[in-house]
Structure 1
């Protein structure tokens, strides 16, 4: 995904996530998405390129980094639990959507049940 399209795709996905809110606690140049006050996505171009930073399970993050050259350890974050998506690689819109959703659900599952805006175990599944 090229340039700012990566950030636009990731930001568009947050609009579909209950309780997601955009904040700017670090000032200009950083956009931070939270659910119930907990960060699940950051975007910045302070590195010279528009990047997206997301939570990921450690094993998933390692696998993504091994299979995609445009996925690296989390910029300015815990390198075990966060990944950075860079523009210009082969990540498609569906993959970006899935990674944003996974990051969101990783945060939601650690919230007290009363604060969870969705059930992280069933979110996105079709009712049968």
Structure 2
């Protein structure tokens, strides 16, 4: 099992270092703002014993989706650890697939911007397009067959 080996599959389904932030923690503010239908998520969390009936009842009395998500994430999910967050993530995939896709896309874009390997070929051409810069000859030669 990956967790036993010191690795976590995190919410993204990829092996990550133990100190990597969980998907739910990383996107906490977006989840609070953007999850609009909290009740089916609460129902499933209760069904899978991630939250207790008392927490379920308390969260359901809150008036807005933001308040419900804030209480859920800062209370029962925080105390349920990685396993509870993993279950919550799977429930989000089922109930809010477009939101999860959007957050994953944002992660991928941020990773591309923050890594040297993420530079596109057009960025590399721009870097070598100055006539006096090293590689300018290569840049101009690449226009020929």
Alignment TM-score > 0.5, same fold: no
- Larger-gyration structure (1/2): 2
Larger % of helix: which? 2
TM-score, normalised relative to structure 2: 0.30
The structure showing larger relative contact order (alpha-carbon pairs under 8 Å, at least 6 residues apart) is: 1
Larger % of strand: which? 1
